């Protein structure tokens, strides 16, 4: 059975950016299938991070950051999802968002709440860039606005 993967339109330029993009892809894979986080992490470590796939060579990702985002966002998804839901427009739910968007927001919100060592502006910019890898401007602006509101609600605005 072929696994469904989430392929970006562009590839990131730094190890930390690559980790964030790969984390979104891994979270997508966990949500889509019956695989555990541990199994998906191993697959990415063994076959995807820094590998050549379909003729494209990917930058080696910051493995520690990748592992933290995937494991942490998935473990804390109820908390993270509630925070996302609290900042969606009235009448919108997390389930109305497509799967790639959910993973971008989960990863970004997780970093906002769990990674005080990373400045808020860096987190937001990085996930807007990830959004640009999959979507057009409107969706990237949505990611920017939602992460900015969550950052403000968590007291991180302006870090």
- Is 85 a member of any domain? yes
Q: What confidence score (pLDDT) does residue 27 get?
A: 96
Token representation of residue 17: 């950016």
- Is 8 a member of any domain? no
Mean pLDDT of 46-71: 80
Q: Which residue has the tokens 């968590």?
A: 154
How many structural domains is the chain composed of? Answer: 1
pLDDT band at 3 (very low <50, low <70, confident <90, very high): very low
Mean pLDDT of 21-30: 94
- Is 4 a member of any domain? no
Distance CA 116, CA 4 (A): 33
- Is 6 a member of any domain? no
Host H or E run for residue 148: helix 137-153
- Is 97 a member of any domain? yes
User: Is the pLDDT assigned to residue 74 strictly greater than 70?
Assistant: yes
Distance CA 60, CA 13 (A): 10
pLDDT digits (tens, 9 = 90+) for 77-113: 999 999 999 999 988 999 999 999 999 999 999 999 9
- Is 66 a member of any domain? yes
- Is 32 a member of any domain? yes
CATH number at residue 143: 1.10.940.10
Q: What confidence score (pLDDT) does residue 2 get?
A: 39
pLDDT digits (tens, 9 = 90+) for 124-133: 999 999 999 8
Measured from the Cβ of residue 153, the count of other Cβ atoms closer than 10 Å reads 14
Q: Which domain holds residue 23?
A: 15-153
- Is 3 a member of any domain? no
Mean pLDDT of 128-144: 93
Question: Residue 23 contacts by C-beta under 8 Å, 6 or more apart in sequence?
Answer: 65, 66, 69, 70, 73, 107
Measured from the Cβ of residue 116, the count of other Cβ atoms closer than 10 Å reads 12
């Amino acid at each position: 059975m072929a696994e469904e993967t989430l392929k970006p339109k562009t590839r990131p330029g730094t190890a930390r950016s690559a980790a964030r993009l790969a984390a979104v892809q891994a979270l997508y894979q966990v949500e889509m299938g019956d695989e555990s986080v541990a199994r998906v992490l191993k697959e990415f470590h063994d076959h995807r991070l820094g590998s050549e796939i379909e003729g494209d060579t990917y930058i080696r990702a910051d493995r520690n950051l990748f592992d933290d985002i995937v494991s942490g966002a998935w473990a804390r998804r109820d908390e993270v999802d509630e925070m996302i839901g609290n900042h969606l427009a009235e009448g919108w739910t997390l389930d109305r968002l497509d799967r790639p968007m959910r993973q971008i927001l989960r990863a970004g919100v997780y970093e906002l709440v769990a990674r005080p060592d990373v400045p808020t502006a860096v987190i937001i910019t990085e996930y807007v860039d990830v959004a640009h890898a999959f979507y057009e401007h409107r969706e990237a602006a949505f990611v920017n606005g939602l992460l900015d509101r969550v950052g403000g609600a968590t007291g991180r605005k302006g870090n």
